[in-house]
Amino acid sequence: MIGSKEPSGPPESFRRAEIVAGLARVRTRLVEAAEAADRDPRSITLIAVTKTFAAVDAATLVSLGVRELGENRDQEARPKAAEVARLRPDDEVRWHFVGQLQRNKARSVARYAHWVHTVDRPAVADALARSVENLDRDPLPVLIQLSLDGNPARGGVAAGGLAALADHVAGLPGVRLLGLMAVAPLGQDPDRAFAALAGRSAELRRSHPDAEVISAGMSADLEAAIRHGATHVRVGSALLGRRSPDLG
Ligand SMILES: *Cc1c(COP(=O)(O)O)cnc(C)c1O
């Protein structure tokens, strides 16, 4: 019927335009924050956190040049990684697992994850290392998640346990310790939190010089993280829009 059609193009092209705009905004923020901190923007890697968003959104980001994608739940990440590989067969994507990890999920995560950011206890590191050896894959790059608020519910090892956990992880053949990850405590000044993280990272590198990665900064606080040396920022909603509040 004439006149009953939406005056606009198909919804896929709207969504793509939204993602193009989100990515441009985030890239601009990243570059400006790096320049303000006298850092080379190319030394900072953007990880697009696609949790709760469709595989097709992740594939759109990949088509726009994003190669690092993050997820926080195994049951969502596993099929999404497979679907993105089907949609973008010629693009090499690296999946970052950034959620709290249970020992019994280690084997599944080790199949598709290229990095795990959330090792916070020896049992998880052991389970990942064992899975890697069973799968006969290259050692899995891992980060230790450091708790900046001492609240164990949000994951992360307390600062007092970091050195011992790092020594443990570094001694496992199946994993490779690349550095630290943290989430700024809710309701606190992110600059203070990320300054503390930078201090712990410097300490860690005295005994583990290769552990140079600092994974910190999300949509709300990536500038603060970059000021304090983040090498990897994990950004979701600023790229893809709001998630429903009870998810992720
Ligand atoms: C969801 C999530 C992010 C991204 O958060 P946004 O606020 O959407 O940018 C980053 N890191 C972790 C660990 C997450 O769970």
Residue 128 lies in a domain: yes
d(CA 83, CA 227): 36
**Structural domain for 125, as ranges:** 12-240
What is the dihedral sign for C-alpha 233, 238, 239, 244? Answer: positive
Dump pLDDT digits (tens) for 156-184.
999 999 999 999 999 999 999 999 999 99
Any domain includes 4: no
Per-residue pLDDT, 143: 98
Per-residue pLDDT band at 8 (split at 50, 70, 90): low
The predicted structure's pLDDT at residue 220: 97
SS3 45: strand
Position 105 in a domain: yes
In Å, how far are 9, 32, 90, 195, 244 from 129, measured between CA atoms? 49, 38, 29, 31, 34
Mean pLDDT of the chain: 94
pLDDT for 2 equals: 47
Q: Best of 69, 118, 148, 218 to mutate for ligand 1, by most ligand atoms within 8 A of CB?
A: 218
CATH assignment of the domain containing 44: 3.20.20.10
> Do the domain assignments include residue 247?
no
| Pocket flag, ligand 1, residue 248 (CB < 6 Å) | yes
Nearest residue (by CA) to ligand 1, atom 11, is: 234
Which residues lie below 8 Å from residue 111, measured CB to CB, with a gap of 6+?
A: 78, 135
Nearest atom within ligand 1 for CA of residue 240: 8
Does residue 247 carry a pLDDT above 70?
no
What is the token pair recorded at 129?
């290392």
Residue 6 lies in a domain: no
- Which three-class secondary structure state does DSSP give residue 208? coil
- Does the Cβ of 72 fall within 6 Å of ligand 1? yes
- Cβ-contact 76, 247 below 8 angstroms: no
- Residues 6 or more apart whose CB falls under 8 angstroms from that of 93 comprise 62, 67, 68, 69, 81, 84, 85
Atom of ligand 1 nearest to the CA of 234: 10
Task: Give the count of domains, the chain.
Answer: 1
Minimal-distance CA residue to ligand 1 atom 13: 98
Q: Residue 245 domain-assigned? A: no
Decide whether any atom of ligand 1 lies within 6 Å of the 234 Cβ. yes
Hey, what amino acid is at 197?
L
Is 125 part of a structural domain of the chain? Answer: yes
Q: Express as a percent the part of the chain with pLDDT over 90.
A: 88
**129 CB under 6 A from ligand 1?**
no
The tokens for 217 are: 């900064």
- State percent of the chain over pLDDT 70: 94
The span from the first CA to the last CA of the chain, in angstroms, equals 42
Does the pLDDT of residue 20 top 50, yes or no? yes
- Residue 48 pLDDT greater than 60, yes or no: yes
What letter would DSSP give residue 71?
E
Q: Model confidence over 178-206: pLDDT tens digits?
A: 999 999 998 899 999 999 999 999 999 99
- Please name the helix (run of DSSP H) or strand (run of DSSP E) that holds residue 180, with its range, or none: strand 175-181
Task: Find out whether the beta carbon of 51 lies less than 6 Å from any atom of ligand 1.
Answer: yes
pLDDT tens digits along 83-138: 999 999 999 999 999 999 999 999 999 999 999 999 999 999 999 999 999 998 99
Q: Which atom of ligand 1 is nearest to the CA of 118?
A: 13
| Residue 135 in domain | yes
Q: Please tell me the distance from the alpha carbon of residue 86 to that of residue 152, in angstroms, as a whole number.
A: 37
pLDDT in the model for residue 205: 98
- Tokens 């926080």 correspond to 72
How far is ligand 1, taken at its centre, from the CA of residue 218, in Å? 6
Give 49 Cα–ligand 1 centroid separation in angstroms.
6
pLDDT at 4 (0 to 100): 47
